[in-house]
């Protein structure tokens, strides 16, 4: 079983899906000749040809509209937006057309497309390249929003997204693209969408995260174990629809919860999870729900990202405050 990075796992999943289904096509800026800005589509043009790997103009709304049209006509397009900071213009197409197609046509048409985009901070690029717009997409009815946190989950969840009959926004954490490797078996097995993954069992506190923040949260859990604190770590993975049952069951066991997101604090998806916990799990809590998030400012340039992003120390501080309560 090969050891691969997250971006290599994405490439593996795309190759597998295109090999199995001639209706799967890839489109986006520089996805063909250059293999994508992060090389996630490297080699696909040579293997599958220009009719299935399509270099488009630099026009994100056009890319999304093309994908919707292809999906309605029976193809399974996987469209790449180079950075999530360029994806905001796509929300018009995703909200008004992709997400409403099944409802609008009373089930006669579906929209089996995937909109992939690298997102998140931590690689020190210029502006427009470091946002994490997960909450914005999660607010759109009729779509799924998936945010993997490891090579193995990126492979399995992307296969599931491509095979899904409805539109999926697939957010890929750029900081994790090449941060570590993991064994990934190219076995064509999809992971289940719409469910959280419990990565670490614990009894003292529940830590909830997704995307790149799962990496930092697991590091915090390891540190806590050395102090005699056993944290349960949950990877949300699919933000919409949200699997609250797994989170509620964990909090019923531990009585405490810290939610970690790299998005700006106000209006973040962490607030949605906290609201659900307050509505449905209040009587299980021994301490207030804590959120660890980025600051309510524009993502700063270059090395200042390290100050902006939550890190292990901020997670540990939130945990200790929860544990000290009551």
Closest residue by Cα to residue 279 from 307, 254, 251: 251
Separation between Cα atoms, residue 153 and residue 103, nearest integer Å: 30
Active site residue 124: no
273-283 burial code (b ≥16 CB/10 A, e <16): bbeebeeebee
Which one from 103, 128, 129, 280 is the annotated catalytic residue?
129
| Assigned token pair, 325 | 């309560």
Give just the sign of the alpha carbon dihedral 127, 262, 280, 153: positive
Task: Check: CB of residue 313 under 8 Å from CB of residue 273.
Answer: no
Closest residue by Cα to residue 171 from 302, 40, 301, 52: 40
Separation between Cα atoms, residue 11 and residue 39, nearest integer Å: 8
Strand, coil or helix: 93:
helix
Separation between Cα atoms, residue 253 and residue 186, nearest integer Å: 36
Neighbour-count burial of 223, counting CB atoms closer than 10 A to its CB (0-12 exposed, 13-18 middle, 19+ buried)? middle
Q: Residue 85 carries which DSSP code? A: G
Task: Check: CB of residue 196 under 8 Å from CB of residue 237.
Answer: yes
Query: What residues are labeled active site?
Result: 129
């Amino acid at each position: 079983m090969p050891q691969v990075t997250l971006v290599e796992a994405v490439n593996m999943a795309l190759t597998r899906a295109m090999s199995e289904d001639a209706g799967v096509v890839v489109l986006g800026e520089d996805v063909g000749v250059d293999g994508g800005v992060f090389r996630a589509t490297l080699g696909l043009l040579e293997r599958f040809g220009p009719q299935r790997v399509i270099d488009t103009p630099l026009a994100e709304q056009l890319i999304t509209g093309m994908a919707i049209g292809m999906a309605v006509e029976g193809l399974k397009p996987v469209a790449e937006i180079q950075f999530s900071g360029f994806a905001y213009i796509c929300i018009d197409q995703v909200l008004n057309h992709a997400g409403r197609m099944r409802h609008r046509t009373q089930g006669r048409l579906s929209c089996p497309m995937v909109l992939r985009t690298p997102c998140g901070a931590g690689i020190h690029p210029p502006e427009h390249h470091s946002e994490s717009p997960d909450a914005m997409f999660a607010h759109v009815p009729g779509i799924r929003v998936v945010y993997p946190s490891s090579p193995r989950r990126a492979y399995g969840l992307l296969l599931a997204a491509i095979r899904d009959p409805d539109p999926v926004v697939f957010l890929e954490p750029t900081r994790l693209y090449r941060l570590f490797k993991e064994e990934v078996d190219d076995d064509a097995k999809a992971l289940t969408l719409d469910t959280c993954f419990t990565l670490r069992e614990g009894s003292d506190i529940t830590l909830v995260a997704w995307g790149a923040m799962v990496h930092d949260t697991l590091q915090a859990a390891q540190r806590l174990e050395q102090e005699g604190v056993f944290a349960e770590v949950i990877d949300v993975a699919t933000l919409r629809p949200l699997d609250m049952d797994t989170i509620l069951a964990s909090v019923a066991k531990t009585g405490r919860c810290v939610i970690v997101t790299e998005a700006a604090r106000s209006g973040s998806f962490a607030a949605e999870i906290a609201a659900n916990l307050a509505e449905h799990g209040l009587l299980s809590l021994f301490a207030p729900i804590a959120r660890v998030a980025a600051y309510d400012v524009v993502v700063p340039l270059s090395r200042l990202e390290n100050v902006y992003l939550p890190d292990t120390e901020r997670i540990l501080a939130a945990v200790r405050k929860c544990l000290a309560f009551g």
